[in-house]
Amino acid sequence: MKNLKITIVRVYITEASKLLNEILDYLQDEVKIRGVTVFRAISGYGESGKHTSSLLELSLDLPLVIEFFDDREKIKTIIQHLHSFLKPKHIVFWDANSS
């Protein structure tokens, strides 16, 4: 079994930022990333305030996490591009092995 060195990235945004489609289009169409998953949170908080979902108050500004992976060199270029329009500290990444 061959292990591949990859980097996993998480990008933190909110629904109201309207960045989801821009990021997904970039990852899929321009850089052809191996795989992407988007998680929609039910609650969260950060510098832009508290975000929560309830039956009484359906927020359209819930936190979103975009997670993707690919080889390390490809990820470096992607992160540089994302830094051009995302707030600092909204991208985290780590190295991993894939088999």
Kindly report, residue by residue over 47-92, the tens digit of the pLDDT.
Answer: 666 566 655 556 667 889 999 999 999 999 999 999 999 988 899 9
What's the per-residue H, E or C state across the chain?
CCCEEEEEEEEEEEHHHCCHHHHHHHHHHHCCCCEEEEEECCEEEECCEEEECCCCCCCCCCEEEEEEEEEHHHHHHHHHHHHCCCCCCCEEEEEEEEC
Q: Please count the structural domains in the chain.
A: 1
Kindly report, residue by residue over 15-26, the tens digit of the pLDDT.
Answer: 888 999 999 999
Give the CATH number for residue 75.
3.30.70.120
pLDDT at 11 over 80: yes
Range of the domain at 82: 4-98
